[in-house]
Amino acid sequence: MVKIMNSLYDKKYLQDEWHPVIYAWYFKDWVNFDMPFHRHDRVEIMYVIKGCCSVRIEGKELLLKKGELILIDADISHNLIFREDGCRMLNVEFGFENIKRDITTVKSLCQQYSSIKQLFESSKSYIVLKDSDEIFYCLKSLVYELNNSDDKGKFLIQSLMLQLLLKIARLYEKSNYLTANDDYVTKAKGFIYTAYDTPISVADIANHVAVHPVHLERVFKKITRETINQFLTRVRIEKAKMLLAKTDINIIEICDYVGIGSRQYFSYIFKKSEGITPIRYRKIMAAQN
């Protein structure tokens, strides 16, 4: 006998052979409509293809824009509000069935990928994510197969559904990482902007942020695409360029003003950054002015 479960977070998925099963799917254009509060006995994915809409859920009103999606667990009350400018949405409702099939199970996916295990253990009633197009293309492929498949297409539908869950899990993991570490990076940047004129080190910055230097280096590079020292040098060079262009302060003093004690080293990193020496940069700026 096939058992049906619909919440995304039932622990049974990690103990037996469970597969996602899709109950409903549709594209729809909504204009100037206030949907009553309702709940589904299945997990729902709502993806905004065009325009925007508001979702009221658990006392909050969330604005969903183009390229964003919300995953709502089963039996969670919510409603939608559509404005006059309209909104085009793609919806998929799914649950899970306990049946033997020649395809990867949820349990197996969780064992292979920490991101999907994290998703199935998160127990959040809803999750809002901003897509980078990967999920949309997966959803489109899934809906196409659902509309056009015969019995032979069931394997592909199952594969696409598992792929969709994995992509959502990875995006969720990435959003959690950025949320947790964004504050560290913001504080680090703020400290650099105020202390760039002193001989600060990565250890000094990490001490101010109250996090281990190695972790700060790692998250700073992942989020900003540059190292802390690269960012610090860039800030110092920009300040130096302003002083060279707008003041008559000699270059030795400018070195001190931007936290670089050595004129030789200052000239080296300035030329490496701008392609010309500080003296040449000042002459060019003076000629332009």
The CATH number for 86's domain is 2.60.120.10
Is residue 222 in some structural domain?
A: no
The percent of residues above 90 in pLDDT, for the chain, comes to: 67
The CATH number for 247's domain is 1.10.10.60
CA distance 123 to 110: 15
Is residue 183 in some structural domain?
A: no
User: Quick one: 150 and 89 in the same domain?
Assistant: yes
Quote the number of domains for the chain.
Answer: 2
Q: What is the tens place of the pLDDT at every residue in 15-34? A: 888 888 899 999 999 999 99
User: Quick one: 129 and 255 in the same domain?
Assistant: no
User: Quick one: 241 and 170 in the same domain?
Assistant: no
Q: What is the tens place of the pLDDT at every residue in 175-207? A: 876 676 888 999 999 999 999 999 999 999 999
Is residue 213 in some structural domain?
A: no
Q: What is the tens place of the pLDDT at every residue in 214-239? A: 999 999 998 889 999 999 999 999 99
**pTM metric for this prediction:** 0.66
Domain that holds residue 269: 230-288
- Do the strands 87-98 and 3-5 form a parallel or antiparallel pair, or are they unpaired? antiparallel
Is residue 191 in some structural domain?
A: no
141-157 mean pLDDT: 81
User: Quick one: 65 and 139 in the same domain?
Assistant: yes
Is residue 82 in some structural domain?
A: yes
Is residue 117 in some structural domain?
A: yes
User: Quick one: 173 and 239 in the same domain?
Assistant: no
